[in-house]
Every structure is written in structure tokens, then in C-alpha cells.
Amino acid sequence: MCPAAAAPTRPASPAEPVAHGRAHWLRVAREAAEDLATDTVIREQAGKAPVDEVSRLREAGLLTLLTPAGRGGGADWDTAYAVVREISTADGAIGQLLGSHYFLSWSARFFGDPETVLRTAERSAAGQWCWGGGFAPQDPPLTLSRTSRGLLLGGRQSYPTGVLVADRLAVRAVREDSGEPVAVVVDPAHRGVVVDAAGDTFGQRLAGGGSVEFDDVPVGAGEVLGSLSADEDHLVPRAALAAPVGRLFSVQLLLGMAEGVLAEVREYSRAGHRPWHRFPSAGAPDDPQVLTAYGELTVLARSASALCDQALDAVRRGLERGEDLTYDEYADVSALVSMAETAASRAAQESATRALDIVGPRSASARLGFDRFWRNARTHTLYEPVAHRLRDVGDYFLNGAHPPFVLPA
């Protein structure tokens, strides 16, 4: 196992550039979000692979945000979360792509040995790689077989994020001889890797999702990051933190969607647009029903945001504990993130749905693009359902049971 997966911050030495602060990265994220917002409806409706969008993120320096300061990054997890939320207010699919990239590109720190961690981080930063794939279990699983030619990866799976634009894929495979699940890094340009677009999704069309077939793809020893076993005899608490750390990006994505749709519909209301309701006064800025709806949705979003802040604090403390983190402490972190996921899921779905009611029949206009928020939120929550999270929180509250090790899709 690797050393403690602490938050990626450290003092800069005199020989290397000083890391940009949080204010810098939030300013960059706002500028990127404003850029994406100018054509988000057109891009979303076209549904093309997000090649241009990834180029925008790379040019802004956001792909390397979590790399060391000398490589153009130097930010911490809190900043990465805030950046994903900011981007998601303008484009939820690109927010999902960026959050997945941050988690997967950092996964070696949770599962790999020190040599693998250093080598992977250096190469990723130098190449400004965009990462895609995912570690959630699927059936049938990818298999990693030991042959006379070395380790070979085989199988076909679908991933909701990043595979169409990834410079590296991080995937889950099962060792054929032992049945142990492991994290594997694959170059999608390698012979034997075939990536197909997922052309039938009704939401998150720009997240770069698709299917990948691996036909006896050679895997080097250094490309097997480590075990993904949920057995507490094999998975130490600091590595188990990968699950809540990754799932917290989903929370930020959903909150960004909720805040984004409310901001757009508010501007629509302030501009004096009236829905085609039966009574002329309906939908006006001083309409009591409209004011009540905005009030309820604001409370819902702010409440979810407050719970997210608590989860952020818990994750930060867990990462700082490093080797000293206990299973009980990990359980506290995981349960709190699950609560935040549930609240954010409700906030995003209800805000996206009721915003359409506020606008009225005009919200069905493809030109306005308000529907994308509902479709994006609903699609994401299908991949990350909260029903199991609620059960886990209840079991933890009532029986003290540790929440399971569940990695994001």
C-alpha cells in the first residue's frame, strides 16, 4: 500500500514556482464557466464528443490543478471541489467530466505503491492527460489474466464519463487467478483498445461516455495500481477514503446543477418573461406562488450546500489523519458524504423539475435549453442512485454498521 493519501498540498521549495492560491483557481473556473455558458445549449443539443471542451479546460490549466506547483497546479481538494461546482453551474456534463478526471488521475495516491504514484503523477502532469473510465463494479467484469506473454486485459464495459476524450483510462479488473479486483491504467491508443460512443443517452451528452472493448491488451506491472477489494482485511482506512473523496465530486456536480438552473430561471423571471398561464398575473416576479417556489428551492439548495460543507470538513480531516485514520473514523466520513449525496440529489432533481413549472410551457422551447438541467440531473442520478446510500446511513445510525466501500460510477 502507498503512504497516506493526504491532500495534495505541500510548501513550495525556493527552486520551484509558488502554487496559485484558491482565489486564482476560482477566478479561472468562473472564466471557464462563463466561456462554456456562451454556447452550452448549442453544444449540448449537438451532443458531440467533448474534444473542444477538454481543450478549453487544458488551456485554462484546470486539468493539472491537483498536480504539484512545479507542474502548474498545487491546489488542494477543497479547491478542486469548488472548481467542479463552478463549472457545473454552466455545464453539468463538463463538470462531471472534470470531477471524474480529478478523482481518477489522483487514484494512484490511494491504491498504488510510492514508485507507481510518482511515475504516474509525473507522466500525467507532463502530458496534461485527461483521465476517463471508472472503478465501479460491473457484470461481467474485465479480466486480468496472467499468460506467457504477461498480464492481459480482456472484456467490454460501458463508462459514463471521459472515455471518448481520455489520454488514460483507469478501470476496474478482476484477476483471473485469484478473483481480486484491482485498479488498472490503460493507454486508449494501445492496440486492442476500441472505444465506441454512447449515442443514445438523453442527458449528460457531453460527459464523453461510451463503451470500451479490451482485446488482450498488455498491462505492465506498473500499470496495476493496487487492490480494490472491499474486505477490511485488505483495504486500509486511508485507501478506503477514495470512495467518499470520489463521491463528493458527485455532490458538487449536483449542487452546481441546482444552482445553475435556479440562476438561469431567475434571470428569465427578472427579464419580465411571463409563462402562458391562464391568468396574466401568474409568473410575474411578485406572484406569491412564484416567490414561494423560489423560496423553497433556495432553502433546499442552501441546506444541501451546508451539509456538503460538513462532508468537506470530514473528508479534509480524514485525509490529514493519513496512516492514523481508523475504520470508525472512515465510517463517520463515509456516512456524512452519503447524507450530502442524498441532499444534493434531491436539490438538483427538484430544482430542475420545478424550475420548468416556474417558466411554464415556454420551458419546453429547445432554444432556451432549460430542459438540459433536468435531463442532466436525472441521468447522473440514475448512475449514482441514493436509495442504497439512505439504507447505509440508516444502518450506520441505528446499528453502528460501517458503510460499504462504494466507488463512484
337 touches 360 (CB < 8 A): no
CA neighbours closer than 13 Å in the CB half-sphere of residue 203: 21
- Among the ranges given (8-12, 325-329, 356-360, 400-404), the one the predictor scored with the smallest mean pLDDT: 8-12
Distance (Å, whole) CA 357 – CA 340 = 26
pLDDT digits (tens, 9 = 90+) for 15-54: 444 557 899 999 999 999 999 999 999 999 999 999 999 9
Residue position matching grid coordinates 472534470 = 98
pLDDT-based confidence at residue 366 (cuts at 50, 70, 90): very high
**CB distance 208 to 164 below 8 Å:** yes
CB atoms within 10 A of CB 15: 6
Single-letter residue type at 264: E
Alpha carbon distance 379, 377 (integer Å): 6
pLDDT value at position 14?
A: 39
- The ranges of the chain annotated as CATH 1.20.140.10 are 237-399
For the chain, helix, strand, coil in percent to 5 are 55, 15, 35
Q: How far apart are CA 211 and CA 162, in angstroms?
A: 11
Q: What is the pTM of this model?
A: 0.92
pLDDT tens track for 243-289: 999 999 999 999 999 999 999 999 998 887 665 454 444 456 678 88
pLDDT band at 2 (very low <50, low <70, confident <90, very high): very low
Q: Report the C-alpha gap between 106 and 233 in whole angstroms.
A: 23
Cβ-proximal residues to 34 (8 Å cutoff; 6+ apart), any chain: 90
State the architecture of 237-399 in CATH terms: Up-down Bundle (1.20)
What CATH number belongs to 22-130?
Answer: 1.10.540.10
Tell me what pLDDT residue 274 has. 62
Mean pLDDT of the chain: 91
Residue 403 corresponds to which cell in the numbers above? Answer: 458503510
The answer to whether the beta carbons of residues 320 and 6 sit under 8 Å apart is yes
User: Using alpha carbons only, what angle is made at residue 257 by residues 40 and 246, rounded to the nearest 5 degrees?
Assistant: 110
Correct CATH for 133-227 of 3.30.1370.60, 2.40.110.10, 3.20.20.220, 2.160.20.60: 2.40.110.10
Residue 4 confidence (pLDDT) above 90: no
